Structure 1
Amino acid sequence: MPQPVSFAKTTLSYPIYAADFDPYGRGYLVVGGGGGESKTGTLLDVSNPAEISTSAELELSTDEDSVSCIANLASKDGLIALTGINSGSKDVEAGKNEHFRAFQIDYPRRAERGSPKKGKSKSPGARKEVEGRISLVSKTSVFKPAESPKKETYQRIIRLSPAKRASGGGSKRLGAIATGFAKESEVIVFNATTVAPTERDIVTRISPRRNAEAEDLDLVEQKDGEFRLAFATEYDVYAQDIEYDFNQRRPRKQLKEPEKVYSVPPPDTFEGPGRPKFRALRFLTRNHVLLLANLPSKKGAELLILKLYPNGTGEVVLRKRLARHVKATTGMDVCALDPDPVTGARQIVVAVAGQDSSVSIFTLDYHGTKSDSLSTFRAFSVTKDVHPFQITKIVLSPFHAPGSPPSSTSSPNSSPKKNRKEQEQQSKKLGRQHIHLATTSMGNTVVVDTLPLQPIPTSDKSTRYILSSARSSAIQTGASALVVGVVMLVCLLLFQSYLAITYPDSAIGQLRFDQYIPQPLRDAVGNLAPPGSRRFAVVHDVEDMITHPLDSRRRIKDLLHHLSSRSAAASSEPAAAVVVRPSEPDADSEHPDSASLETEVHPNEESVLRKDGDAKRWDQLSHREKEWWRRRLIAAGAWAVEEGETVLQGIFFSSFAGAIGDIVAEALR
């Protein structure tokens, strides 16, 4: 079973607006922000689930803007943090805004991580060598110079394509940035293998239609050198395919303009004014985009999965409305766990930050490249009041499964028990795996949750990981047990029907498996009927009644079933009315078991009442009359208690002009 979620919290000296994890999961988080006279970037060690420690910090110029966004590139001994920081107001007014900054982050030496006692034993000069360090590498301007009187353009968003697991350094990645508060909005894709992109490193410049600014964007690598960009404005989603040659530092072929793949439809007349607005966007797969939208007037939020088709269109294939307490959202992030090596199936974790400082975590299952489809959303957890102030950033750490090739002793001919044992031993050797979820706030707080993962076998007998809570596991187990139980019950009932039809006069044909079903359930099932159907039917139109002796060979239930079956085969389906009455008018009041019974089948209820005005339905009988009829029906073998009274509801009981009522009254006297 998975371990419970643990979290750690720390408070810094400034409001935090940006955060990003080490792309290779080495247990570090970079945050940045600022307020008033404090502009700072901080490296946090989050490898300990119970504690967050500061490994390095850099005070930024107070004349410049706060850190607005961060994306990390991995290096051998640390990170290259690409950030958005506006230049000072004087430089901006002069048309010089070096908003794109790159910082070198050196990690503390491993021998000193988490070991303050060892650090104290070092001399001051030696200790500086093992502490983490942040230093500015470059700053440049990538956006077009602002030409309006108010030059308020700043770098609001930065995203990098997912990092691939590589030894000794980073992978070849593309990056994208987008403007905020710009007179002329831009989305720029650049070669992220350089820390100071020049015009030659710009892959494409996109000017969104109607000068709409990008609310969010994301990149995914489909194959080596083949990428897909998607960005969302308030109401529209655009996508663009990019093929890039990193060696030549240019696109392999001329790029097409981004295509609009989805647009929020205008509201219906009855829905009121306003349309949902997109807040965040993330790729789930190369053909599936997850969108987070806030409903108008803070009426809630929803998640949408948009499927992209080769013809350049998109369709919303799934929606998920968030909980009622989430009136609006501030951010979202996803983490795709490791795939099955054969089928490509994998689990995807989704985290959403609410404006009420809540965090909702969901999981999705990608069924593999063959079906290219996703499951529905499954709730993992909802945590309220995570921060004292509004959440500014939510980010999930990337997950790279540890090397877990199939054991050399495993083979297709190995027994399942042996393979499971080998997988368990391999999982223990690799240790527990987890992902981190970090949230930051305007209240200077950072909260990091550690979400433990559970290993499961894959198609090639190796191991992959999923996020599974104890509650979801219990629900899944209970659902499986319920399905098995229902299937067994249906099989028993079918077997009972087979015996009753094949051996009607033998003891084996009288076996009653349904007596073990609770009476309320039997009554409920007995009352079920398709809409428009009739409970009983006769064989054909008849003008006169048909009389049958009622004994142990002809049970009421079998008679009704017989009539209904034959009527279904006939062309007409008139309503039937069955009457049960004593064979002799003079029934023994003290010994009702001695009275014989017979049935009459009438074409309809009117025929019954026309012939016998004293005939009553079961629910019209008094308690005493019902007791008398129960005893008589049981004695005649026409009905058993375990069959329930449902079968008696549609039958008329006749007392020969009140004879049974007189007998009951005499018995009472």
Structure 2
Amino acid sequence: MPAPFPRSSIELDYPLYALDFDPEDANRLVVGGGGGAGRSGVGNKIVRLPAVPFLVVLSTLTYLAQTVLETASNEELRVAGAVELSRDEDSVMSLAVGARRGKTTQLYAGVNSSPADVAKGTNHHLRTLAVERSKARASAGVATPEAKIVELSRAALFADPDADTYQRLLRVSGSVGAAATAMGKDPQIAVFEAATPRPRLKGVMELPREAEDLDILQTGDGEHQVAFCYKYELYLVRIGKANGEPELVFTMPDDHGERPQFRSIRYLSPEFILAVSNLPKRSGVLIQGFRLPSPGHEKARIAATTRVPGKISATALAVANLSPPPAPWAPAGNTQFLIAIAGTDASISLYTLEHMPSTVLNLLVALHPMYTLRGVHGQDNITGVAFSRFVAPKTHARAQFVKLASISLQKTVAVHSIPLIKHVDKQARRGKGPPRPVRYVVAMRSSAPSSWPLVLVLSVIVLFMAIVGQAVMEMYGKSEPIIFAQNFLPSWHGTLLSPDHRPPGFFENHVISKLAGGKAPTAGETMVLFEAEHPQAAAAGQLAKVLAADVHDSDVHGPARTWDQLGAEERRIWRERLRETGAWTQGMGESVFKGILFGQIAGAIGHAMAGE
């Protein structure tokens, strides 16, 4: 089944590890990767691709190359510019697009220096590049925008890194960025100023373990906050004129030795952060929205949670605010967040989350699944996902989209354009004041988890308990047979019956089955009990009588009477004879005889006359 969103894709000539959208232009995307130092024939690159006109790519090869292209629609993706770095250096492992200054946009990339330089103790792992988009030039009647990519600086931010250390994580917010190490003996996070072409180090934090993911958010004028996680712990650290110490704000609770492990985090607002965690044994993904510590609260609290089902683990996370505030540190209003989670099964799960402001307590609500994109890159591993930044237009004449980009190890880039629609909050229509501005939400509605599976399970449980209860009541003689549990019970079940509660129909069938070999009357027929000659005794010329039961036929069995028509002595004789045959016990009571006719029994009249 094709995805319900327009899709464009392109295949490059190197593995892809990192991507990021230009925060000031949703039509610009940067991707990067490469084959690493000395790998046969595969270069290390950063590429810029235009998606109407879209995208930039950074790369590393033995020479500098530039390609300028454009896309004509949401279904076509082309390269707009590229820079190829030295084959002697490492792959591009992390990327972040910074602020625009005039005609140029700054890019930051994590690229290790050559092995020879690293062996000498020099590793300028953070590259700063500038992308300048020149005026369009006519070529064969087609306007083609050019993107010129040049390197501005290289910096080494980590303290005393070993030869295995590389920059795996990189995030930039405003004028401050943060980078984290991987593979090294001493895990670190370096915070730097990104306001100038040459980044200036603000501080290095030593970590007890390697950070699994990090994010940074500007919380005020000159104030930032860094969040990072590893394994079961979530930390925050304040960045300003004087940097704070990392504060542990949440620890995954231990559930008998098995706990979800943090995989990725993204800020939603200064008040909330979103995290995805992998459940043990690849049994699914946990999505949690955390309310960050506020005055009076030292720890983060869970504000929203749900689970991505399936035998998968998360590999990447992206979040888009569809109604971003004018400043990153401003409080969020009524808005919808769009969430993308890449899984190990080559799928991208899309969720929506609503933010509801209040004078008392802001809320995260309706964390619901929207759609799952499958086979975006075939069966290839998805190494990264990113959303374009959406800003509502001043006029609402055109259809609006938010773009979701994804990359894979198999050199492919895919961009889905997710349609948006206008939305006006209901409470905005009730007041007498000016109406609230129109905001945008995803056109495809999310669906809350259905309650039908729970209702069905509960219904089955209730039905089963009702059947068991009815069977027990029938077994103890406290109910008329409905499910006829007696047909499935052993012969000794009659000993459990209460003498005060007897289901006549059940025991009547029991009496008949003992004397008639299981023969039962059909509709309109009546069974009769009578004395018959014993077959073996008759063959030996002896006289012996046995009790039998059959459908009543007056020509064969003679006259027959109901139980109420029998005299006291006749009843006593019948009771004794039936008890001797094992067809009746005292616990059954005499009401079982109400539906049976009784023939003449030898000795009954004589005993009755002797009694007179």
Q: Distance in 2 between matches of 1:288 and 1:660?
A: 76
Contact 2:26 2:390 in 1 (8 A): no
Unaligned ranges ≥5, structure 1: 113-117, 162-171, 245-250, 405-426, 480-524, 533-576, 578-604, 617-621, 626-655, 663-669
2:270 is the counterpart of 1:234: no
Match of 2:106 among 77, 80, 85: 80
Structure 2 partner of 1:60:
85
Residues 235-278 of structure 1: per-residue CA shift (max 9 Å, x gap): 21101233x3xxxxxx1xx4331110112234406x5xxx4322
Report the Cα distance in structure 2 between the residues aligned to 1:343 and 1:658, rounded to whole angstroms.
Answer: 81
Shift of 1:608: 9.6
Asked if residue 277 in structure 1 is aligned to residue 255 in structure 2, the reply is no
Task: Please name the residue that 1:40 is paired with.
Answer: 45
Q: Tell me the CA shift for residue 659 of structure 1.
A: 11
- Alignment partner of 2:391: what SS? coil
* Aligned-partner Cα distance in 2 for 1:285–1:121: 46
3-state secondary structure, aligned to 2:365: coil
Q: CA deviation at 1:103?
A: 0.9
- The answer on whether the counterparts of 2:93 and 2:168 sit within 8 Å (CA) in structure 1 is yes
How far apart are the structure 2 equivalents of 1:340 and 1:237? 25
Q: Secondary structure at the match of 2:139?
A: helix
Alpha-carbon distance between aligned partners in 2 of 1:141 and 1:467, rounded to the nearest angstrom: 42
The 8 Å contact of residues 127 and 153 in structure 2, kept in 1 or not, is answered as: yes
Q: Secondary structure at the match of 1:312?
A: coil
Which whole-Å CA distance do the structure 2 matches of 1:343 and 1:180 have between them? 33
For 1:306 and 1:195, how far apart are their aligned partners in 2? 35
TM-score, normalised with respect to structure 1: 0.60
Mapping of residues 130-141 of structure 1, within 5 Å: 130-141=145-156
Partner of 2:456: none
Which residue in the other structure is 1:432 paired with?
399
Q: Secondary structure at the match of 1:377?
A: strand
**Structure 1 residue 660, shift from structure 2 partner:** 12
1:156 maps to 2:168: yes
Segments of 4+ in structure 1 off by > 4 A? Answer: 339-343, 605-609, 613-616, 622-625, 656-662
* Superposition map of 1:176-255 within 5 A: 176-199=178-201, 202=202, 204-208=203-207, 210=208, 212-242=209-239, 244=240, 251=241, 254-255=242-243
Q: CA deviation at 1:453?
A: 0.7
In 2, Cα distance between equivalents of 1:434 and 1:120: 30
Distance of aligned partners of 1:325 and 1:107 in 2 relative to their CA distance in 1, 3 Å threshold:
farther
Q: Distance in 2 between matches of 1:219 and 1:332?
A: 15
Question: Using the alignment, how far apart are the partners of 1:623 and 1:386 within structure 2?
Answer: 67
Instruction: Check if 1:356 corresponds to 2:351.
Output: no
Q: Mark the CA change 1:382 to 1:97 in structure 2 (over 3 Å): closer, same or farther.
A: same
> Which of 300, 311, 316 pairs up with 2:302?
316
Q: Give the alignment partner of residue 279 of structure 2, picking from 295, 300, 304.
A: 295
Contact 2:128 2:154 in 1 (8 A): yes
Q: Is the 8 A contact 1:608 1:615 kept in 2?
A: no
Identify the residue that residue 139 of structure 2 maps to in structure 1. Answer: 119
Mapped pair 1:372 → 2:398: no
Specify which of 354, 378, 382 is matched with residue 391 of structure 1.
382
Shift of 1:155: 1.1
Deviation (angstroms), 1:378 = 1.1
CA contact (8 A) 1:188 1:205 kept: yes
- In the alignment, what sits opposite 2:22? 22
**Equivalent pair of 1:24/1:400 in contact (CA under 8 Å):** no
Query: 1:219, CA displacement in angstroms?
Result: 1.5
Query: For the residues of structure 2 that align with 1:142 and 1:340, how far apart are their CA atoms?
Result: 32
Whole-Å Cα distance in 1 between the matches of residues 214 and 308 of structure 2? 22
Equivalent residues, number: 455
Q: Which protein is bigger by CA-based radius of gyration?
A: 2
Measured after TM superposition, the shift of residue 377 of structure 1 is: 2.1
Aligned to 1:465: 440
Structure 1 residues 608 and 440, CA, compared in 2 at 3 Å: closer, same or farther? closer
Inter-CA distance 350–660: structure 2 relative to 1 (3 Å threshold): same
Matching residue of 1:260 = 248
Contact 1:4 1:452 in 2 (8 A): no
Residue 391 of structure 1 aligns with an amino acid whose one-letter code is I
Matched residue type, 2:375: D
Paired position in structure 1 for 2:413? 446
1:196: Cα distance to partner? Answer: 1.3
Q: List aligned pairs for 1:453-492, cutoff 5 A.
A: 453-458=420-425, 459=428, 460-469=435-444, 472=446
Q: Which structure has greater helix proportion? A: 1
Matched residue type, 2:247: E
- Please tell me whether the aligned partners of residues 25 and 398 of structure 1 are also in contact (alpha carbons under 8 angstroms): yes
Matches of 2:345 and 2:501, distance apart in 1: 68
State the partner residue of 1:630: none
Deviation string for 1:501-558 (max 9, x for gaps)?
Answer: xxxxxxxxxxxxxxxxxxxxxxxx9xx99xx9xxxxxxxxxxxxxxxxxxxxxxxxxx
2:25 match: secondary structure: coil
Unaligned residue ranges in structure 2 (runs of 5+): 53-72, 429-434, 452-461, 470-477, 479-497, 507-520, 525-590, 598-612
In structure 2, relative to structure 1, the CA distance for the partners of 1:614 and 1:215 (3 Å cut) is closer
**Change in 2 beyond 3 A, CA 1:363/1:26:** closer
Against the structure 1 CA distance between its residues 446 and 615, is the aligned structure 2 distance closer, same or farther, given a 3 Å change threshold?
closer
Q: Sort the Cα spacing of 1:100 and 1:615 in 2 relative to 1 into closer, same or farther, 3 A.
A: closer
Structure 2: distance between partners of 1:279 and 1:224: 30
AA matched with 1:56: G
Q: Is the 8 A contact 2:303 2:364 kept in 1?
A: no
Counterpart-to-counterpart distance in 1, 2:299 and 2:390: 31
